[in-house]
Amino acid sequence: MCRAIKTLHNFSPPATDDEIRASSLQFVRKLSGFTRPSKENEAAFNRAVDDVTHAARHLLNSLVTNAPPRDRAVEAVKARVRSMKRFASAQAITTNHNHN
């Protein structure tokens, strides 16, 4: 899964329209392979972002859970810890590789 696309379901406060659009943009970028489409593809690209945003909002509004909402600040700390571990492991591998 694309790491730039964040989970948006079951947070307190709920995902904003901007967050949903940003995730939709990342999804369309991943599918199309374009960070920025050419002028020729711009309309189709933007329409896809709008369509995915609409579908994502509909999905988030339709989902049901009994789990308590996750706290954004707590989840951000967890993500930073995961990132530090991941990059520390990569750094250790690179360092060990360069010393051999």
The answer to whether residue 47 is domain-embedded is: yes
- Per-residue pLDDT band for 5 (boundaries 50, 70, 90) equals confident
Please tell me the predicted confidence (pLDDT) of residue 49.
98
Residues 55 and 79 in one domain: no
Q: Note the pLDDT tens digit of each residue in 24-76.
A: 999 999 999 999 999 999 999 999 999 999 999 999 999 999 999 999 889 88
Query: What global pTM score does this model have?
Result: 0.75
Shared domain check, 56 and 41:
yes
Q: Are residues 27 and 56 in the same domain?
A: yes
Whether 3 maps to a domain, the answer reads: no
Q: What whole-number distance in Å separates Cα of residue 68 and Cα of residue 78?
A: 17
Residues 15 and 57 both lie in one domain: yes
- Per the structure, how many domains does the chain have? 2
Pair (35, 80) in one structural domain: no
In a domain, 1, yes or no: no
Whether residues 22 and 46 fall in one domain: yes
Structure token digits, residue 98: 């360069």
**17 and 63 in a common domain:** yes
- DSSP letters of 29-65? HHHH--SS--HHHHHHHHHHHHHHHHHHHHHHHH---
Length in residues, the chain: 100
